[in-house]
Amino acid sequence: MICYKNLLIATHKESFIGYVVLSDSGIIKNVNKGKCNIKDALDYSGYILMPSFIDSHTHGGYDFSFNDLKEKNIQDKLNKYLAKIKKEGVGHVFATTVTASYSDIKKIASYFTEKYSKEFLAWYLEGPYISKEKKGAHDENLIKNLSTKETQFFSEVSKFIPVYLALAPEYSQNKKMLNQYHDQINFALGHSNDNNFDSKYLKDNKYKRVIHFLNAMSGFHQRNKSLVNSVLEDTNRNYLIEIISDLTHVRSQTLNFLYQSFDDSNIALVSDSLPNKGSKNGIYKLNNLEVEKKDYLFYLKDSSTLAGSGMPYNLILKNFYKATKCSFSQLVKFSSYNVAKSLKNKTLGRIKINTKANFVLIDKDFNVKLHYFDGEKAKLD
């Protein structure tokens, strides 16, 4: 047995000073308030224990891209990436791919229909079924509408792993697929210039999430039914709203506005990190496009168009916490619980007795001191 004591333990329901006891095999045996009387308990006063984080919109990092899953012999690069994100406190991700050809998409799909890494909770295709006007860092030459054949293909893939598809609603063909397949595929709203959006698609839960809110979508307008209008004006939200809290995609004051505007159950903090997160500044490839890394940000080469973030996920959380002064229990919802709940996963996003440990210990600056993943202590050195 091992006991970690004097922690601030944060769950999605409450936060308290207490302790957690693990078996030698990494199973949580007890979580309680107060003092731990186990001999040789480890004192972690000043640290916060939270469920390990879920980054539900990330394209990779540390020189690994989820678009690389179409290739063979990528396991070493993938293992390096998975080890690196553990240092950020991230245990699980949505494997997010950028716009690619259908032939490449099918190659990537073959990875998920075989044995895939247990860190992957979903396959998230951010393109190509989006708007050219709001394409962001996606190859315009590959953008198209979603066909029946492709939708049926993704429906088959979803038998192996949950599939999320970004879908611009302003095109009749996309609307047709949305109406017919929303029970089989998780559609995501964004990368769209729709200024006459029919909000029933949100109210009827045909869209399961909103892609990096405020970015790459039709903006607020007093006379239009834009995507921003539709989400802000909705009074019965039953979907997740992604927020990139790197302070550039969304500035600090706006983060606080969104925090005040949305229910705790709706927010999912994401990194939208690109494959060269962790690399030095310079020019890199994002599938068929070139992007420039400038510190924690990526831009399309020779432009001011944001392409994604290069910020570690623990700092994404730190920014949101400082901007909003939210509680740690709320932060648990935003960083893991809400996403796990959306997948009907009753283990992740929780500190639950008789389950394998999936939690992190962070200090007040959000540095990750300890990370248990699937019952094993991750190497952070």
DSSP-derived secondary structure letter, 196:
B
The upper half-sphere exposure of residue 338, i.e. CA atoms within 13 Å in the direction of its Cβ, equals 24
Tell me the per-residue pLDDT of 329-345, one tens digit each, with 9 for 90 and over: 999 999 999 999 999 99
Does the annotation place 57 within a ligand binding site?
no
**pTM, rounded to two decimals:** 0.97
Task: Provide the terminal-to-terminal Cα distance of the chain, rounded to the nearest Å.
Answer: 24
Does the annotation place 223 within a ligand binding site?
yes
Does the annotation place 251 within a ligand binding site?
no
What the chain holds in terms of domains, given with CATH numbers, is 2-50+350-377 (2.30.40.10), 53-342 (3.20.20.140)
Does the annotation place 237 within a ligand binding site?
no
Does the annotation place 137 within a ligand binding site?
yes
Tell me the per-residue pLDDT of 138-150, one tens digit each, with 9 for 90 and over: 999 999 999 999 9
What pLDDT does residue 302 have? 85
CA distance 3 to 219: 50
Does the annotation place 168 within a ligand binding site?
no
Tokens (6 digits) for 31 = 């979580």
Please provide residue 333's backbone torsions phi and psi, each rounded to the nearest 5 degrees: -60, -45
Query: Where does the chain have alpha helices with state H?
Result: 75-86, 102-112, 148-157, 172-181, 200-203, 227-233, 252-261, 313-324, 328-332, 338-342
The residue that leads in pLDDT, 353 or 303, is 353
Please provide residue 356's backbone torsions phi and psi, each rounded to the nearest 5 degrees: -65, 140
Query: Where does 124-251 have alpha helices with state H?
Result: 148-157, 172-181, 200-203, 227-233
Q: Which residues are catalytic?
A: 272
DSSP-derived secondary structure letter, 379:
P
Tell me the per-residue pLDDT of 197-211, one tens digit each, with 9 for 90 and over: 999 999 999 999 999
By residue count, the chain amounts to 381
What pLDDT does residue 356 have? 98
What pLDDT does residue 76 have? 95
What sign results for the dihedral spanned by CA atoms 237, 320, 61, 287? positive
